[in-house]
Amino acid sequence: MTTMTDSSVREFKMPDVGEGLTEAEILKWYVQPGDTVTDGQVVCEVETAKAAVELPIPYDGVVRELHFPEGTTVDVGTSIIAVAVGDGAAAAAEPVQEAVADTPATAEAEEPKPEGRQPVLVGYGVSTSSTKRRPRKGAQAPADAQGASAAIQAELNGHGPAAPAAPAAPAAGDRPLAKPPVRKLAKDLGVDLATVAPTGPDGIITREDVHAAVSAQPAAPESQGAPAAVAPAPSPTAAPASYDTTRETRIPVKGVRKATAAAMVGSAFTAPHVTEFVTVDVTRTMKLVEELKQDKEYAGLRVNPLLLIAKALLVAIKRNPDINASWDEAAQEIVVKHYVNLGIAAATPRGLIVPNIKDAHARTLPQLAGSLGELVSTAREGKTSPAAMQGGTVTITNVGVFGVDTGTPILNPGESAILAVGAIKLQPWIHKGKVKPRQVTTLALSFDHRLVDGELGSKVLADVAAVLEQPKRLISWA
């Protein structure tokens, strides 16, 4: 094979495709070694904690090597593909001998570790962040680790040594540093944390340290003549020995699902939630929906009850603007927003996402219908961008599409309120003094009680119900 100089090979690094993201999973490669690529050509699809994104290459050349196989989670700033450019492209066009790297460690050993996160692609700039990256399992040791501190930092970056020099165990009388799950593991395995040498940052004992301590313990003899063999320590990521694959399935939590889980836990235990409910006759709203479907102005647009529910919420916010706010913990201030970025919770194959319609308050009803249709279609195709999910102020979640009457929705992090819409059903209802079948639904409004007191939350929910009961209020209140 023709030898190429380093200057003729460009390394394309995993960009930060969303503000503050630290890693992404490679879902699919669209090119293979030996393929010719051009500036702007999409070479792979990756999934971040927010969405699936296609990555374009920023230069012309010939693919020399793919450093990671599909399904690998890669840190931002790590090279994922090598491309021969300029004079080297012609040489690389010959039959390529290198195959896709078997493990992430192979590529990592061949390239120098980046000094820091740098902008690597137009439109995908990164911001300085002090967030520590999650160490990748299975990374190999660097050839020349220098000292315990270098080994620890390398491990944090996903390049930790296989057997780092163990720091000294905690001094007698000092309480060992370990997280609750690690303490429970040590207790279950009968390990005294005071005897474990920590390898985590700032002297924290990790699960691997506990397992290493178990492996290092001498075996207790079964008899005076022959010592018993010590069973190998279980892998921290391995399934339990009793795990039956015919009766259970384990699904790794990553990408959108992992981010959603973390966000919901953070929201539930940060913002004090209050939920209020109201059941309302929406028969007139359903009639208006049918009339709008026949209107030429709405031709080609998605006209459904969600459209008028969204408009009703926007009218209620206009009448009660203080509900459209956020909590600034650092400044201890309430930030009232003079715009509404209306979030719509959408279930997708990759999990629940909440894209939002920017400046929804300023849109006419036909414009709102167009934006809702585009938002839903993009979400179903899995093409929602990270930017579309940032900056939301209030959200609507339509649980009625699943036949559910109502629920107690959890706030989207950073937002003040979320409206859950239940199924619209024919029910007996007292109308003009008589019991008649009417279209009825139940609304549930959850709000952050630090920002919204009971009076304000009740007014907003009552206004939404009033508009849906008498849609003509869209004109008189707008």
Q: Rounded to an integer, what distance in angstroms lies between the CA atom of residue 359 and that of residue 63?
A: 43
Where residue 47 falls (left for φ over 0; alpha for ψ -120 to 50; beta otherwise) is beta
Q: How confident is the model at residue 151 (pLDDT cuts 50, 70, 90)?
A: very low
pLDDT value at residue 102: 46
Give whole-number Cα distances, 268 to 19, 112, 245, in Å.
23, 42, 33
- Between 250 and 282, residue with greater pLDDT: 282
pLDDT value at residue 332: 87
pLDDT value at residue 25: 84
Q: Is 103 exposed, middle or buried (0-12, 13-18, 19+ CB in 10 A)?
A: middle
pLDDT digits (tens, 9 = 90+) for 363-377: 999 999 999 999 988
Q: Is 226 exposed, middle or buried (0-12, 13-18, 19+ CB in 10 A)?
A: exposed
pLDDT value at residue 171: 53
Q: Rounded to an integer, what distance in angstroms lies between the CA atom of residue 198 and that of residue 204?
A: 6
Contact, 58 vs 43, CB < 8 A? no
Q: What are phi and psi of 37, to 5 degrees?
A: -125, 155
Q: Is 382 exposed, middle or buried (0-12, 13-18, 19+ CB in 10 A)?
A: middle
Class of the CATH domain delimited by 174-219+231-238: few secondary structures
Three-state secondary structure string covering 213-267: HHHHCCCCECCCCCECCCCCCCCCCCCCCCCCCCCCCCCCCCHHHHHHHHHHHHH
Known active-site residue 449: yes
CATH architecture, range 6-110: Beta Barrel (2.40)
pLDDT value at residue 107: 40
Average pLDDT over residues 296-316: 95
Q: Is 446 helix (H, G, I), strand (E, B) or coil?
A: strand
- Between 277 and 7, residue with greater pLDDT: 277
Whether this model's pTM surpasses 0.75: no
Average pLDDT over residues 67-82: 90
> Is 476 a residue whose pLDDT tops 50?
yes
Q: Give the active site residue among 338, 361, 431, 449.
A: 449
Per-domain residue ranges for the chain? Answer: 6-110, 174-219+231-238, 256-476
Give whole-number Cα distances, 95 to 33, 164, 362, in Å.
9, 40, 58
Where residue 292 falls (left for φ over 0; alpha for ψ -120 to 50; beta otherwise) is alpha
Quick one: which of 58, 74, 69 has its CA closest to 11? 58
- Retrieve residue 107's tokens: 């590529």
Q: Which residue has the tokens 């959408």?
A: 346
pLDDT value at residue 258: 72
Average pLDDT over residues 288-303: 93
Average pLDDT, rounded, for the chain: 77
> Is 58 a residue whose pLDDT tops 60?
yes
Average pLDDT over residues 240-262: 70
Contact, 111 vs 74, CB < 8 A? no
pLDDT value at residue 170: 52
Q: Is 285 exposed, middle or buried (0-12, 13-18, 19+ CB in 10 A)?
A: buried
pLDDT value at residue 92: 57
> Is 153 a residue whose pLDDT tops 80?
no
Average pLDDT over residues 214-226: 51
pLDDT value at residue 135: 46
- Between 166 and 359, residue with greater pLDDT: 359
Q: How confident is the model at residue 198 (pLDDT cuts 50, 70, 90)?
A: confident
> Is 232 a residue whose pLDDT tops 80?
no
> Is 392 a residue whose pLDDT tops 90?
yes
Q: How confident is the model at residue 134 (pLDDT cuts 50, 70, 90)?
A: very low
Q: Rounded to an integer, what distance in angstroms lies between the CA atom of residue 415 and that of residue 435?
A: 40
Rounded to the nearest angstrom, the gap between the alpha carbon of residue 195 and the centroid of all alpha carbons in its chain is 38
> Is 308 a residue whose pLDDT tops 90?
yes
- Between 378 and 139, residue with greater pLDDT: 378
- Please state, for a pLDDT cut of 70, what percent of the chain lies above it: 70
Q: How confident is the model at residue 456 (pLDDT cuts 50, 70, 90)?
A: very high
- Range in 164-168, 266-270, 320-324, 446-450 with the lowest mean pLDDT: 164-168
CA angle (86 as vertex; 80, 87 as ends), nearest 5 = 115
Q: How confident is the model at residue 97 (pLDDT cuts 50, 70, 90)?
A: very low
- Between 240 and 351, residue with greater pLDDT: 351
Give whole-number Cα distances, 310 to 109, 283, 372, 398, in Å.
53, 17, 9, 11
CATH architecture, range 256-476: 2-Layer Sandwich (3.30)
pLDDT value at residue 224: 41
Q: 222 Cβ partners below 8 Å, 6+ apart?
A: 228
Contact, 77 vs 114, CB < 8 A? yes
> Is 19 a residue whose pLDDT tops 50?
yes
